[in-house]
Amino acid sequence: MISGRFGENGELFFEIELIASNGEVFPVEVLLDTGFTTGFIAMNSQDLDALDWSLIAPQIEMQTARGEGFFDIYEAWVIIDGQDLIVPVHVGEDIPEILIGCQWLDRMQLVVNKPMGILTLEIVSSAE
């Protein structure tokens, strides 16, 4: 189980680790974006440089809160809730924070109790 924190405006933040192709591990804070329903992770293209992940699909068109956008899809290596996983990551421009999407909720339990200060994510299924 990983504990998160609430942002000033009620955002849900968690820490995960990104694994570069050379094995280097980068702990990062991510924002759970409930509007990002079609993916696991989205990040700005400049954040990708140190990771050297493999491109799966270039220039996939997607609807975003700002309208239509184009994203390159990479194979990402991440550690979340103590497990090493490979997931697709959407890489685009003008993404101010690393986002995790609702696809995680197919395999993780989200517990939110803001009055008690409880915010956790826990893997309940490792099924793809």
DSSP-assigned states of every residue in 71-96: EEEEEEEEEETTEEEEEEEEEESS--
| Local confidence band at 68 (pLDDT 50, 70, 90 cut-offs) | confident
- Rounded to an integer, the average pLDDT of 71-98 is 92
Judged against a pLDDT cut of 70, whether residue 92 lies above it is answered with yes
Judged against a pLDDT cut of 80, whether residue 62 lies above it is answered with no
Judged against a pLDDT cut of 90, whether residue 80 lies above it is answered with yes
- Rounded to an integer, the average pLDDT of 29-49 is 91
What is the Cα 75 distance to its own chain's centre?
12
Judged against a pLDDT cut of 80, whether residue 64 lies above it is answered with no
Q: Which fold has domain 2-123?
A: Cathepsin D, subunit A; domain 1 (2.40.70)
- Rounded to an integer, the average pLDDT of 69-80 is 91
> What residue spans define the domains of the chain?
2-123
Q: Residue 61: enclosing H or E segment and its boundaries?
A: strand 54-64
- The 10 Å Cβ neighbour count of residue 121 is 23
